[in-house]
Amino acid sequence: MTAELKKYLLEHCRAWMLPEEIRALTRIGLTKYGEETDRKLALVEPKIEAMYGFADEKTNQLVEMGKERLEIRIAERLLKDSGDTIINNCPKCGKLTRTPKAKQCRYCKHDWH
Ligand SMILES: [Zn+2]
């Protein structure tokens, strides 16, 4: 998988991610201090727990993989399960667009609005 495709999947395809994947990415982006703070808050605040999933086994397993492996795993799953829907290639030159809903190509400037 190219770095460009991985970035596209992780940054623009959240709508196709599983709840535990989004929670794991949110948590893995936190600093150690931030995670400790939020873990305490999550114990008494259901909304925080829903966002970070500290008590959710699936989320915890994903977080334990570490950032690098987690990102690749999510990107590969998205491609396998939803690739046909989310990969938006330019109809003219066939290259990957910037987002799943883009209607303009950043390479050849083709516009299909
Ligand atoms: Zn193009």
Q: How far is the CA of 104 from the centre of ligand 1 (A)?
A: 8
Residue 107 has pLDDT above 80, yes or no: yes
Cβ neighbours of residue 45 closer than 8 Å, sequence gap 6 or more: none
Residue 41 pLDDT: 87
Please report which confidence band the pLDDT of residue 95 belongs to, taking 50, 70 and 90 as the band edges: very high
Flag whether pLDDT at 35 surpasses 90. Answer: no
Distance 98 CA to ligand 1 centre (A): 11
How far, in Å, from the CA of 95 to the mean position of ligand 1?
A: 6
77 CA → ligand 1 middle, Å: 26
pLDDT value, residue 65: 94
Q: What is the mean pLDDT of residues 42-71?
A: 93
Residues whose CB is less than 8 angstroms from the CB of residue 110 and which lie 6 or more positions away in sequence, other chains included: 90, 91, 92, 93, 104
**What is the percent of the chain with per-residue pLDDT over 90, rounded to a whole number?**
83
